Amino acid sequence: MTDPAAPRDGLPPGVALAWGLQATARRGPKPTLSLDQIVNAAIELADAGGLAALSMSKLADALGFTTMSLYRYVTSKDDLLALMIDVACGEPPAPLLDPAPSWREAIDRWARAILLVYRQHLWALHVPISGPPIMPHQLAWLDALLRGMADTGLSAQDQLSTALLVDGYVRSWALLSDGLLQAATRPSDADAPPSALLGALITADRYPALAPMIAAGEFDDDEDDLEDIFDFALARIIDGVDSLVQHQPAARSPRPRSPRRR
């Protein structure tokens, strides 16, 4: 309880730091390190080599300090990860905050913008979610998306649900597409062989719908195909929202919230 990162009531340790509310210390030697340095160096390491490449000792080495000195700034590695995610998200780019020609366009732009972020910091998606988003930058992104949906006429709940849908798909897509690309650009030790061998295993009687597609080569995706898949899915999501918007013009409440208990 003597760490400098215990500033306010109830808040989880890292969260308070991210909002910049630490009771600035006075006594003692000036810190030669700073939280910013640490977090940025950690992001650099994780960007380069994934979460596996980020250990407290490697991070300390990169900064020229010993492992344990980091714990003066961060209460645990999980804490550090939370801060890293928030910094890595960054502020939503300015064009996203300008009013878009339509909410369809707004969602589309938002999804593509955050996909870039996720791709750049893929490790962030591997950090387990431990609660609702409460970090400033995450909320800023969410706010940007909600602003774009303002003129859909949807209820607040539906807007939130839509935001979760869009973000959720982008996240899983970022993970999947990276896995596919990485597999495709590997030394080929397990590239062509499976394609042939699997063709023999995926028989039409066990996989009646899949087998013909494999045989037709629909699985041999290159990078452009992957982009097509994302475009397709995003368009489907937006169409799905659109069909709701069209059919429920204004002041709708077709999905009443379950009555509040307690």
Partner DNA sequence: ACGAATTAGTCTGCACCATACGCAGTGATA
Partner DNA sequence: TATCACTGCGTATGGTGCAGACTAATTCGT
Question: Which chain residues interact with DNA by CB under 7 A?
Answer: 2, 4, 25-33, 54-58, 65-69, 71-73, 76-78
Q: Which is nearer to a second copy, 19 or 65 (CB)?
A: 19
- Shortest reach from residue 86's CB to DNA, in Å: 18
**What's the Cα-to-Cα distance from 129 to each of 9, 134, 210, 226, rounded to whole Å?**
22, 11, 33, 26
Partner from DNA, a second copy, none contacting 6, C-beta within 5 to 8 A by type: none
Smallest distance, Å, CB 33 to a second copy? 26
Q: How far is CA 216 from CA 86, 183, 190, in A?
A: 44, 20, 20
Would you say 62 or 146 has its CB closer to a second copy?
Answer: 146
CB of 226 to DNA, least distance (A): 29
Distance CA 17, CA 40 (A): 14
- Cβ at position 80, least distance to DNA in Å: 8
| Nearest CB to a second copy, comparing residues 63 and 140 | 140
Residue number with CB closer to a second copy (61 or 78): 78
**140, 196, 185: which is closest to 163 by C-alpha?**
140
How far is 6 from 8, CA to CA, in rounded Å?
6
Q: Give the nearer residue to a second copy in terms of CB position, either 31 or 194.
A: 194
Give the separation between CA 77 and CA 69, rounded to whole angstroms. 13
Cβ count within 10 A of residue 91: 12
Q: Which of DNA, a second copy, none is residue 73 near (CB under 5 to 8 Å by kind)? A: DNA
CB of 54 to DNA, least distance (A): 6
Residue 171 neighbours by CB under 8 Å, 6+ apart: 118, 125
d(CA 90, CA 88): 5
Give the 3-state secondary structure of residue 60. Answer: helix
Asked whether the beta carbons of 35 and 83 are under 8 A apart, the reply is yes
11 binds, among DNA, a second copy, none (CB under 5 to 8 A by kind): a second copy
Give whichever of 17 and 117 is closer to DNA, judged by the CB atom.
17
Phi/psi class of residue 11: alpha, beta or left (left: φ > 0; alpha: ψ in -120 to 50)?
beta
Which of residues 64 and 188 has its CB atom nearest to a second copy in the complex? 188
Asked if residue 89 lies in contact with residue 141, where contact means CB atoms within 8 angstroms, the answer is yes
CB of 175 to DNA, least distance (A): 21
- Give the one entry of a second copy, DNA, none that residue 173 binds, where binding means its C-beta sits below a cut-off of 5 to 8 angstroms depending on kind: a second copy
207 binds, among DNA, a second copy, none (CB under 5 to 8 A by kind): a second copy
Are the beta carbons of 144 and 138 closer than 8 angstroms? Answer: no
Q: Min. distance of Cβ 56 from DNA in angstroms?
A: 4
208 binds, among a second copy, DNA, none (CB under 5 to 8 A by kind): a second copy
